Structure 1
Amino acid sequence: MRHPKRRMLALPVGLTAALTLSACGGGSSADGDIELVVASFNEMGYEELLEEYEEANPGITVTHRKTGTAEAHHQNLFTKIGAGSGLADIEAVEEGYIAQAMEAAGRFNDLAEIGPEEVTADRWLDYKFEGGQTPDGKLIGYGTDIGPLAMCYRADLLEDAGLPSEPAEVGELFATWESYFEAGEEFIAANPESHWFDSGAQVFNAMHNQLEIGYYDTDSNLVVESNTAIKENWDTVVTAIEGGQSAGLEMGSPAWETSFGDDAFATKTCPPWMLGQIEGLAGEGKVWRVAEGFPDGGGNWGGSWLTVPTQSEHPEEAAELAAWLTAPEQQTRAFVASGPFPSQVEALESEELLSLTNEYFDVDTGALFAERAEAVGSAQFKGPRDGQIQTNVFMPAFASVEEGTADADQAWDAVVSGAENLAG
């Protein structure tokens, strides 16, 4: 739903204090200036923004610790939580790890208490704001980006296979998962040398995130085996794999990266940040487009929150910075710089975002993904090891079916036991 308009958060005035050196990431220099440390990962688009914040706030120095991968960043984060020291003043937490952070909610400040009063829930889409709250209502994270899903496709390959190739027509072809996989059957029949999608795990993840209940119920009980919707999605994707629709390529692998320059597969689940990767990997001569719509509604893949650990010596100043970084203006600029799509209502309605286009995909990027963001609905509850179950259990299980090292039943048994072992 859309929220009523509200004024933007202004830049905070300069903040100074005579404080002692922090035992964690930030601290105070001899002249009383405050140092804030921001720990993030991948590309969140903050480099120029942090420089601007320093210039606008004499007395504050911001140090940016950026880790290359989400996995490495969060391993470091939870190690330092366990040790009780070493955390930054602001720690980014990705959606696959937010539930694990919720388990340690006592180690994070309640931003509703220490943050600027004018920063309220109506800044964000409902599901994004809710994702940063603990079950008992403590707000441990200000939402940064989201990953509303669209479906990218090779228009030239679909046309060669006798299928519709214009975005509106393909949107109708992809109206449901049933019609999507049926189109895959037609594509493979016409082009047996290619495949319909890159990997079963990628498609399954999109389907899974549409479920009301995922790997855990709302009491954090593991329900991988008992949630029949999970098994139904598994069976659907495995059937498509056995029918030759999957290229069996692990996302991020060298083979996956080089495949975009070939004709290895025709469709790809696409959050906004995926478009830049595809363009960079596919290059000229490959006609990638974005369908108007997504199977069975909407979905989300990706997104983070900014938290302020209780270790911070400057929690209110850190909350001010986190609030500024997650304001609509700054998140729009971060999207333009690096691709993380804003989760803020006013950003999604801004002319700056809605006017953005992508020449390579020939699409009004801002308007399309703003519409896709509204289609997501409510947030799926994420349990303590949600992200790890997807990455360390389901991905290898689908790969074993694609590689022929296990049949569907063996792979499913491995899923159930693997999830139970991981969840403890």
Structure 2
Amino acid sequence: MSAATVTACGSGSATNQTADGKTELTVATFNEFGYEDLFKEYEAAHPDVKITQRKSGQAAPHHENLFTKLGAGSGLADVEAIEEGYLSQVMSKAGQFNDLKEIGPKDATSDRWLKWKADAATTKDGKLIGYGTDIGPLAMCYRKDLFEKAGLPSDPEAVKALFATWDSYFAAGDQFIAKSGGVAWFDSSAQIFNAMHNQHEVGYFDKSDKLVVESNPAIKADWDAVTKAVAKGQSAKLAAWSNEWNTGFKLGSFATKTCPSWMLGVIETQAGPENKGKWAVTDAFPNGGGNWGGSYLTVPKQSKNAKKAAELAAWLTAPEQQIKAFQAKGTFPSQVKALEAPALLEKTNAYFGDIKAGALFAAQAKKVAAAQYKGPKDGQIQDNVFSPALQSQEQGKSADEAWKTAVAEAQKAAK
């Protein structure tokens, strides 16, 4: 072990210790990771360690704090959670995070995780920046009763053909709105566009971090397909996470929803008990698979206890703990062995007709072909450029004018 590694691992007086001589490890998370009981279990098995959790209610303030303290050079936790939507920004600052292949336990190899999950947190020169926690494999949720009223098949097996490709999905939307009595086919054009876009090999930037919004024809093709569907009346025009969007679930304002594993809980909460049994989920997603959501545990180089922090992070993301976190908070595992665990595969969901949701989403996770390459400002362009531009078309702006605005704003954001 080199002297530099010893320093990075927090040897000697550099370590943070409690008054009773324990090594204090701070862990910064957001939302619900399901770690509270796991921390107690780890401390019981490691009496020399004291874990202090810093927990934010939402991802945005957590990451704002993270990037502020990265810039300041101090103040970060020993273990920092990173949501996948912010991962590209973290990867652009990879030099400020430890390579977990170097400091982590030797058995915590990348092949423990689904390949695309580990690849997304691996730098171009092969450093592993984060251990994968949860994922959000995509399926399609839909309203059985609304399908039946519109003369479409409603059984989860029978609807698969409708969701085979994006072409078949939008064609089914045309059939639906012709007989739906004003109910929309999907909730929001941005939700559909993002799912389509994230299936491509690269995002808004190529692998040399050059903006490709205009030069990548796949982006414009997705735009044209979605805005055409909006023009035909397929969108409910509801901004995701708005009060109107939440109410839309309860009122049955739209018939289909791009559905990561965690969306089942959102639908049940927002649609309410009166709509139990009306929503269904099928193990199909247009053009294959996709992922929306999930996080990583990283160890910043600011940590004075980096080696012990990496050991904790590796333990928290091991298959056994991923299953316990899933049972506690529903966070869907990313470890290959966890995806084969009976506790996951036998998990049913009563709201969605007692379907084996664990097995369904485990199968969907394995359909994701590869991790999309995202440039350092990919997330900002998705959230702050393309989503508003798509909303502007839903509100009456022409698709061509909205596209021009999106291109111009993306070029500004990329500078």
Alpha-carbon distance in 2 for matches of 1:250, 1:50? 37
Correspondence list, 1:32-43, <5 A: 32-43=21-32
Partner of 2:330: 339
Alpha-carbon distance in 1 for matches of 2:403, 2:347? 43
Secondary structure in structure 1 of the residue aligned to 2:273:
coil
Superposition deviation, residue 21 in structure 1? 7.4
Q: Is residue 21–residue 28 contact of structure 1 (8 Å, CA) maintained in 2?
A: no
Superposition deviation, residue 192 in structure 1? 3.5
Correspondence list, 1:233-248, <5 A: 233-248=222-237
Read off the aligned partner of 1:370 and give its amino acid letter: A
Q: Is residue 18–residue 32 contact of structure 1 (8 Å, CA) maintained in 2?
A: no
Superposition deviation, residue 55 in structure 1? 2.0
Q: Is residue 19–residue 28 contact of structure 1 (8 Å, CA) maintained in 2?
A: no
Alpha-carbon distance in 2 for matches of 1:165, 1:239? 25
Superposition deviation, residue 93 in structure 1? 1.0
Alpha-carbon distance in 2 for matches of 1:50, 1:222? 42
Partner of 1:154: 143
Superposition deviation, residue 126 in structure 1? 0.8
The counterpart of 2:357, out of the listed 349, 365, 377, is 365
Superposition deviation, residue 57 in structure 1? 1.5
Correspondence list, 1:360-399, <5 A: 360-362=351-353, 363-399=355-391
Deviations 1:331-357 (A, max 9, x none): 122122222211100011111111111
Superposition deviation, residue 18 in structure 1? 9.2
The counterpart of 1:316, out of the listed 292, 301, 307, is 307
Read off the aligned partner of 1:273 and give its amino acid letter: W
Partner of 1:136: 125
Superposition deviation, residue 235 in structure 1? 0.5
Q: Is residue 124–residue 344 contact of structure 1 (8 Å, CA) maintained in 2?
A: yes
Partner of 1:5: none
Superposition deviation, residue 20 in structure 1? 4.8
Q: Is residue 19–residue 32 contact of structure 1 (8 Å, CA) maintained in 2?
A: no
Q: Is residue 18–residue 33 contact of structure 1 (8 Å, CA) maintained in 2?
A: no
Secondary structure in structure 1 of the residue aligned to 2:172:
helix
Q: Is residue 11–residue 305 contact of structure 2 (8 Å, CA) maintained in 1?
A: no
Alpha-carbon distance in 2 for matches of 1:18, 1:121? 26
Alpha-carbon distance in 2 for matches of 1:195, 1:69? 30
Alpha-carbon distance in 2 for matches of 1:236, 1:148? 23
**CA spacing shift, 1:133–1:54, aligned 2, 3 Å:** same
Matched, 1:183 2:175: no
Secondary structure in structure 1 of the residue aligned to 2:32:
coil
Secondary structure in structure 2 of the residue aligned to 1:285:
helix
Partner of 2:189: 200
Deviations 1:30-78 (A, max 9, x none): 2221111111112222122112212221121111111122222111111
Alpha-carbon distance in 2 for matches of 1:108, 1:376? 27
Alpha-carbon distance in 1 for matches of 2:50, 2:121? 27
Superposition deviation, residue 327 in structure 1? 0.3
Q: % of aligned pairs identical?
A: 60
| TM-score normalized by the length of structure 2 | 0.95
Superposition deviation, residue 134 in structure 1? 0.6
Partner of 1:53: 42
Q: Is residue 92–residue 304 contact of structure 1 (8 Å, CA) maintained in 2?
A: yes
Read off the aligned partner of 2:351 and give its amino acid letter: Y
The counterpart of 2:394, out of the listed 402, 413, 418, is 402
Partner of 1:65: 54
Q: CA RMSD in A?
A: 1.4
Superposition deviation, residue 213 in structure 1? 2.1
Partner of 1:262: 251
Matched, 1:278 2:267: yes
Partner of 1:6: none
Correspondence list, 1:223-238, <5 A: 223-238=212-227
The counterpart of 1:114, out of the listed 103, 128, 143, is 103
Read off the aligned partner of 1:355 and give its amino acid letter: E
Gaps of 5+ in 1: 1-16
Secondary structure in structure 2 of the residue aligned to 1:345:
coil
Alpha-carbon distance in 2 for matches of 1:29, 1:226? 55
Q: Is residue 21–residue 29 contact of structure 1 (8 Å, CA) maintained in 2?
A: no
Partner of 2:407: 416
Partner of 1:4: none
